[in-house]
Amino acid sequence: MASIIFQRLCLAARSSHLRLPPTRPTHLSGGTNLEIFKFGMYIMFPIGWMYYFGTNLESRFSVPDFWPAPETTHRIPFEREELNEMAGQLKAERLERRRRRLEQARVEIKEGATDEIRPAEQSEEEQVGRVEVSRGTFGRGAIEKWARGQA
């Protein structure tokens, strides 16, 4: 039985209608030199692109006066005297903003003439009763002092 199958396979292999057509090149090759040139372009094009855009950046892509001058920017203090001076300035600014905010709240109260009692007008005992005593990370009573504006 195996011989019959083998005979049929040999007969099928010899018949012309079961064979694949002979392979032909789909394009005419330019030769080895063309392939070397294409390979060189594949390698050199990205390198050239990176070299062009990666060198001489200061003159090629610079916008005049784009970055501010060092004397017009913020300068971080490092010395103790400078730090104390900066802390004093920040404290003075914060107190001035607080004074203006409280003054504005008083003006609004006088203009509004409402019966509602605002927290700024409440006594200290009423405010303490409103805020519970904390015993957390900040120490005893730190949050209450902060809530009353004494921090």
Q: What is the pLDDT of residues 64-112, one digit of tens each?
A: 888 888 877 777 888 999 999 999 999 999 999 999 999 999 988 888 7
What gap in Å lies between CA 120 and CA 109, rounded to an integer? 10
Greater model confidence, 45 or 4: 45
pLDDT of residue 130: 52
Phi, psi for 85 (deg, rounded to 5):
-65, -45
Q: Where are the domains of the chain?
A: 77-112
What gap in Å lies between CA 23 and CA 140, rounded to an integer? 92
End-to-end CA distance of the chain: 104
Each residue of 40-75: pLDDT tens digit?
Answer: 999 999 999 999 888 887 777 778 888 888 877 777
Per-residue pLDDT at 150 exceeds 60: yes
Residue 134, token pair as written in the block: 């904390």
